[in-house]
């Protein structure tokens, strides 16, 4: 007979005092099991760029952990709606919200709507980002403005708006999705590397500025492969350069975000590199 079945047996005996003790143990055990399986129950998370790829997987992972999730998008409306439907099928609440996060006024409106709907915000995942190559002698001002606007400027203004709500609560966590490109030199992605290096520096500065009540950390993905992605000779060459000889899954990033959202009371200002060992010198 299992532990809880044994307790249930004793609880069925006509001994009021013993029954009360057993009932207390059963209720406590049920609460602990719920906390362990749904550590984000009654919490609200906002994931930028949650309509597709890594953002979508992060949003669904947080919902499975019990969080109500704000699914932000800019252009991927259908993906955002599909993500929200799946979140609701998991038993969590979902809110779909559009904003161009490179525009501070739209960011402010986004967070006002979240505050009005939920009255709180426990976790911000700054995931929205863009990535495109350009040779150094072909980079234009608009390329810099576009990539810095989304990959760095937006990260700050979203964090600023989130922190105002979190400070009112007295607690909160912010996770910034940066990149291995913020730690390495990629000649054909100079503008991208600069934006992600800025996001990493921003993580550390915000961690000090928002302490002690708000923790700020970053996750830096390496090569992440999605189902349906082409697996050509170039991709295979990249994989063979990774010590673990495989690409990462979006779930690897989402699970790291979940760890930082639930298990990291004494971690802030850190960058968690999830790259299969690719960054090892």
Are residues 272 and 249 in contact, defined by beta-carbon separation less than 8 angstroms? no
Q: What is the pLDDT of residues 80-94, one digit of tens each?
A: 999 999 999 999 999
Q: Is the pTM value of this prediction over 0.75?
A: yes
Beta strands in the chain (DSSP E): 44-47, 68-73, 94-98, 123-126, 172-177, 214-221, 271-274
The predicted structure's pLDDT at residue 27: 42
Query: What are the DSSP calls for 149-195, one per residue?
Result: IIIIIHHHHHHHHHHHHHHHHT-EEEEEE--GGGTS--GGGHHHHHH
Selecting among 9, 73, 189, 192, the annotated active-site residue is: 192
Is 189 part of the annotated catalytic residue set? no
Could you read off the pLDDT of 40-77 as tens digits, one per residue? Answer: 999 999 999 999 999 999 999 999 999 999 999 999 99
**Is 70 exceeded by the pLDDT of residue 30?**
no
Higher pLDDT, 53 or 23: 53
Q: Does domain 41-274 have CATH number 3.40.50.720?
A: yes
Instruction: Give 16 or 139, the one with higher predicted confidence.
Output: 139
């Amino acid at each position: 007979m299992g532990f809880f079945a044994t307790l249930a047996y004793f609880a069925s005996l006509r001994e009021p005092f013993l029954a009360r003790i057993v009932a207390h143990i059963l209720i406590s055990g049920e609460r602990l099991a719920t906390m362990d399986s749904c550590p984000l129950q009654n919490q609200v998370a906002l994931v930028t760029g949650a309509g597709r790829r890594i953002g979508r997987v992060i949003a669904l992972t947080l919902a499975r952990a019990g969080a109500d999730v704000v699914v932000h998008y800019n252009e991927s409306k259908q993906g955002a709606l599909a993500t929200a439907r799946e979140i609701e099928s998991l038993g969590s609440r979902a809110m779909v919200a559009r904003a161009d996060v490179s525009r501070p006024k739209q960011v402010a409106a986004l967070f006002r709507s979240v505050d009005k709907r939920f009255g709180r915000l426990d976790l911000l995942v700054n995931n929205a980002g863009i990535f495109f190559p350009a040779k150094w002698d072909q980079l234009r001002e608009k390329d810099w403005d576009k990539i810095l606007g989304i990959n760095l400027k937006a990260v700050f203004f979203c964090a600023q708006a989130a922190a105002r709500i979190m400070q009112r609560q007295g607690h909160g966590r912010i996770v910034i999705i940066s990149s291995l490109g913020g730690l390495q030199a990629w000649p054909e992605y100079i503008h991208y590397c600069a934006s992600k290096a800025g996001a990493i520096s921003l993580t550390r500065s915000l961690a000090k500025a928002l302490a002690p009540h708000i923790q700020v950390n970053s996750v830096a993905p390496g090569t992440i492969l999605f189902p349906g992605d082409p697996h050509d000779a170039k991709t295979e060459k990249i994989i063979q350069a990774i010590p673990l000889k495989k690409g990462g899954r979006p779930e690897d990033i989402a699970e790291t975000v979940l760890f930082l959202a639930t298990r990291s009371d004494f971690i802030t200002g850190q960058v968690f590199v999830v790259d299969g060992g690719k960054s090892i010198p």
